[in-house]
Amino acid sequence: MIRTRLYRNGVLENENFPLDDVSDYVADETTTVWVDFTEPTTDDLAALEDELGLHHLAVEDAVHDYQRPKLDRYSSHLFLAAYAVSLDMNTGSLETTEIKAFITKRALVTVHKADFDMSRIVDHWDHEPDLAACGVPFLLWGLLDTIVDGHFESVQQLDAEIEGLEDALFDATSSRNPEVQRRSFELRKSLVTLRRVVLPMREVVNTLLRRDVIASHPTIQPYLQDVYDHVLRATEWTESLRDLVTTILETNISLQGNRMNLIMKKVTSWAAIIAVPTAITGFYGQNVPYPGFSASSGFWVSTILIVVGSIALYATFKRNDWL
């Protein structure tokens, strides 16, 4: 599926025009063109490659998945690869969608999968019509701002999830549930994925802040600087949350060890108490004469020893917090 837009002097003039008209429009210095491809093939991009003079290596990267977030510079255009993210609150897993873009002087071409909702970026552009006169830098800023806002929102959601995990960690009932450990591993995995997506964006946005690139415009520079600030905050936040999740995992293991030691301490204490009557009854069970043998006094003496010894051990263990 292909979607197109034409801006002339900062005003939206036409939409969904044929792809063959792109080269005619970009020849006019007053126009800005946006072309959006959903899951294209190499053949789909071949026509655009001729229309805009795109480098064949960039076209190959646009078709193949799992590119690293980056901004490649070619003689006539830039190639951007980035990832939009969303957090599944039920499972704690992070879902990523790859977005690529060709950036020329008067055209922006975006490429993405069908599961990405491009309308969010279009709405972002429509909410800032005063900046449309900046041309391609305006379109690129709207794209990056939407993507980075999604990164920042996911970090906030992960932070809230980890706070809930901290509360459950010291809960007397939840801490014994393996769900705490499973959730910790899932959130840690999501943070690793988010870090892999967010960290390279610093270099991407920082490159766009340079005034010698195609997508540079004085009016858009402060807006890109704001995006860069959000990227830095998301990166630092992600790093701190990774450390926090690691601490939670280690603390959970320590708590499990402490609970096991407490259980072993109680079991050992009760075993010591039970050993007293066992020893006494074993002694009086000898098949040899002894004081109280075959007499009621022997029974009462052994009973008193069992009761007194057991009570004394129980009181001692209770005073030392072993029971």
Domain boundaries defined on the chain:
2-256, 260-319
109-129 per-residue burial string, b: 16 or more CB within 10 A, e: under 16: bbbbeeebebeebbebbeeee
21: which residues sit within 8 A by CB, 6+ positions away? none
Does residue 80 register a pLDDT over 60?
yes
How much of the chain exceeds pLDDT 70, in percent?
93
pLDDT of residue 213: 79
Strands 11-15 and 31-38: unpaired
Q: Is the dihedral of CA 130, 38, 44, 15 positive or negative?
A: negative
Does residue 175 register a pLDDT over 60?
no
CA distances 153 to 80, 156, 231, 234, 252, Å, are 22, 5, 12, 9, 27
Task: For residues 302 and 297, give the distance between their C-alpha atoms in angstroms, rounded to a whole number.
Answer: 9
If phi over 0 gives left and psi between -120 and 50 gives alpha, with beta otherwise, what is residue 77?
beta
Does residue 192 register a pLDDT over 60?
yes
- Which residues sit opposite 81 in a β-bridge? 70, 100
Q: Looking up tokens 């690529």, which residue turns up?
A: 100
Q: Please say whether the structural domain 2-256 has been given the CATH code 2.60.200.20.
A: no
- For residues 130 and 58, the answer to whether their CB atoms sit within 8 Å is no
Burial class of residue 211 (count of CB atoms within 10 Å of its CB; 0-12, 13-18, 19+): exposed
225: which residues sit within 8 A by CB, 6+ positions away? 209
The pair of structure tokens assigned to 200 is: 């390279």
pLDDT of residue 260: 80
Q: Quickly state the pLDDT bin for 162 (edges 50, 70, 90).
A: confident
- Sheet strands (E) in the chain: 2-8, 11-15, 31-38, 70-73, 78-87, 94-103, 107-112
Task: For residues 126 and 122, give the distance between their C-alpha atoms in angstroms, rounded to a whole number.
Answer: 6
Does residue 84 register a pLDDT over 60?
yes
Q: pLDDT by residue (tens digit) across 227-276? A: 999 999 999 999 999 888 888 878 877 877 777 888 788 888 888 888 88
- CA atoms within 13 A of residue 248's CA, in its CB half-sphere: 27
Question: What global pTM score does this model have?
Answer: 0.79
When pLDDT is averaged across residues 87-113 and rounded to a whole number, the result is 91
